[in-house]
């Protein structure tokens, strides 16, 4: 089978790779997804991946749904989860599930029973978070310390340094044990359900995708300023046994020396 071309980075930094455009970042990341999926399926028979929400990853999901990837990836061995979800119905335009479903899940042959949505439309978000935590514990492979372990966990980053729905100043940042929590986001006056760092930092591979000028100041701060007494949420992503991999476009990396 012909190999799919993957754009080359215009620059590499110790923390990751920088590409010319968001399209190049997403094409290269689709290729990485394929390689990580092949590795996981060969080693453990399945690929467990947590999708990030927001707008940036849409282009990645659409790239994965394109025929050259869609017909090559082993969707019947792929298990899809979510890093966080807004407290909205799954057909709401704010829903991370809706975005992923439109861009990818409705366009590839992943079995619906292998897509695990966070049911954040329900009233009792504590129970939603607890149920999702139980689901993770029952369906994911376990790390040596017993923690549910994703093969790949995708993250975006807000311009305030949040990842998933772990926003600065929220109690969820310091959660010592739970795998998922409801989070009230003051600045958005909205509720979310988010995985915690306990799960994020046990994934085999954690890749952060950030594009656009609006992220440049936070990228520089996150990568070039010491964490200080209150590390940014993104600075708390420290995968056990590996490292957070940044995948940036030129604009998001513009302030990195």
Residues 6+ apart with CB under 8 A from 118: 82, 84, 85, 97, 128, 132, 180, 193
Ranked by CB distance to ligand 6PG, the top (closest) residue is 156
CB of residue 153 to ligand 6PG, shortest distance in Å: 11
CB of residue 233 to ligand 6PG, shortest distance in Å: 9
Tokens standing for residue 237: 């992503």
Q: In what order do the strands lie in the sheet with 11-13?
A: 11-13, 16-19, 245-249, 206-210, 152-155, 47-51, 78-82
Estimate the crossing angle of helix 58-65 against helix 22-44, to 10 degrees: 60
Q: Residue 103 carries which DSSP code?
A: I
CB of residue 3 to ligand 6PG, shortest distance in Å: 29
Alpha-carbon distances, residue 140 vs 203, 226, 256 (angstroms): 10, 34, 36
**CA dist., res. 163 & res. 94, Å (int):** 17
Shorter beta-carbon distance to ligand 6PG: residue 74 or 102: 102
Shorter beta-carbon distance to ligand 6PG: residue 16 or 83: 83
For the chain, the residue count is 257
CB of residue 157 to ligand 6PG, shortest distance in Å: 6
Shorter beta-carbon distance to ligand 6PG: residue 53 or 148: 53
Alpha-carbon distances, residue 220 vs 126, 162, 215, 244, 252 (angstroms): 35, 14, 9, 15, 9
CB of residue 131 to ligand 6PG, shortest distance in Å: 19
The residues binding ligand 6PG (CB under 6 A) are 52-56, 83-84, 96, 156-158, 162-165
49, 152 in Cβ contact below 8 A?
yes
Shorter beta-carbon distance to ligand 6PG: residue 28 or 46: 28
CB of residue 9 to ligand 6PG, shortest distance in Å: 20
Shorter beta-carbon distance to ligand 6PG: residue 75 or 82: 82
Shorter beta-carbon distance to ligand 6PG: residue 62 or 68: 62
């Amino acid at each position: 089978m012909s190999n799919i071309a993957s754009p080359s980075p215009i620059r590499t930094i110790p923390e990751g790779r920088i590409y010319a455009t968001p399209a190049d970042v997403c094409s290269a990341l689709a290729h990485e997804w394929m390689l990580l999926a092949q590795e996981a399926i060969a080693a453990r028979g399945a690929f467990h991946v947590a999708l990030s929400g927001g707008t940036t990853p849409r282009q990645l999901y659409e790239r994965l749904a394109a025929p050259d990837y869609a017909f090559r990836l082993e969707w019947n061995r792929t298990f899809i989860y979510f890093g966080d979800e807004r407290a909205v119905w799954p057909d709401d335009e704010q829903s991370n599930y809706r975005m992923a479903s439109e861009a990818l899940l409705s366009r590839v042959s992943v079995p619906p029973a292998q897509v695990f949505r966070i049911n954040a439309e329900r009233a009792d978000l504590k129970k939603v978070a607890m149920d999702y935590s139980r689901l993770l514990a029952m369906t994911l492979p376990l790390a040596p310390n017993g923690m549910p372990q994703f093969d790949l966990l995708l993250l975006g980053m807000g311009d305030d340094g949040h990842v998933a729905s772990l926003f600065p100043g929220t109690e969820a940042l310091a959660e010592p044990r739970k795998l998922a929590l409801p989070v009230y986001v003051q600045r958005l006056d909205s509720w979310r359900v988010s995985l915690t760092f306990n799960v994020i930092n046990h994934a085999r591979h954690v890749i952060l995708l950030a594009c656009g000028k609006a992220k440049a100041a936070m990228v520089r701060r996150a990568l070039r300023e010491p964490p200080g007494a209150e590390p940014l949420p993104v600075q708390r992503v420290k995968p056990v046994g590996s490292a957070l991999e940044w995948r940036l476009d030129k604009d998001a990396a513009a302030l990195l020396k």
